[in-house]
Structure 1
């Protein structure tokens, strides 16, 4: 137990010491995603808008779904739907790349002395920027529909912090495991799809029978989706006890993921 603690501490210290290198990796990774496109970084805005338009058409115009009551239930549905899609988009974007982050960079593993702890963090900047763009679009929609934005939106960093920590911990686990189990990319694709339908991304949690809601809370997206909607749309301060429990679980997942990464890294070069 003591050795594991030292490993985690030394890894975090190494990441901090190499923060300038991490910034360069972030910039290069983000630029590589958009530099070959004609519209460039504009796709970071176009993609969520297209997805929002598609889901809004299917669920509002085709299935006639409503979310809550009031004179503008359609507008409320679109905004609440978008917040769920933001959370799932971050999850899917980050984890879908995780299994290939080590195996797609063999030169860093074999030929040079490189802090491998940085590789699972490469998608972080792009995912956070896309999440920030989503928050901005939600704010614009809120102002258009309601004429104001609730002050609780300033609690957004508090809500997202443990979620980001949890996803990074999962990324460490998946990036290390993906070196040895190449089928992990297919597993992650299936998991990210299931996670959308097994959480209140596309529907309100209240629509789920109370006896089954506990199973939805086993999904790491559920808590953050509910609390994100509370602070950005509904103007409600989330339950701090739920937030604290989520933060505690996130730290456990992060420590376990990083520990697994450090325990397996010696075998990366042999496999690659």
Structure 2
């Protein structure tokens, strides 16, 4: 019987600076399962991007694309696709403003163009550059888009214009150079709730770990929301508990504190 659901953001939470699971965190995941807890990945990334992490961590439950794509034991439980008309409008607006625009789903990703922000983003996350294909979104269901806009004054103005022009979408700035775009109301919290409902785990307590602004929904909605010590103060203030940094045994310290391992 499952005693608890424990959901983890990846970057700057569960993963180390090499974007891998440390031996310590691998052992913590094994201990969680031995204690009848269900470890869950809750990430802004798509499922195809994290196949190595899923294998290393032996994850069965995946909430990806900020809640837009949910899997359990290899089966897709939920997919929230962006409307084709909205994607066409996004593609046109980003082209007009010379902004790199990527679209993705659980199978793959393509991008309109490669620029310096794109190169920096994929260098940071230790992943290959996506394929250039400006019409990729016309050929398949898309669960997430990315707009590569930096946080310079000019970039901030562009971001404000983007958000105002597309009020029916949900935006998450995932770094100083990139913004995630998903369907309206899609959050990590909604993805976890879908997992609970579909897996008949609605009555099971939920613990969540995160550091970013796209983690706030699941920190707030969980029975226990745990912010990493490296999270911004505004994120920490939304949590029930603040643990140590991701690179200072933060995951294990919190799991031990709440007697989950």
Same fold (TM over 0.5): no
State the TM-score, normalizing by the size of structure 2: 0.28
From the two aligned structures, give the one with the greater strand fraction.
2
State which structure, 1 or 2, has the greater radius of gyration over its C-alpha atoms. Answer: 1
State the TM-score, normalizing by the size of structure 1: 0.27
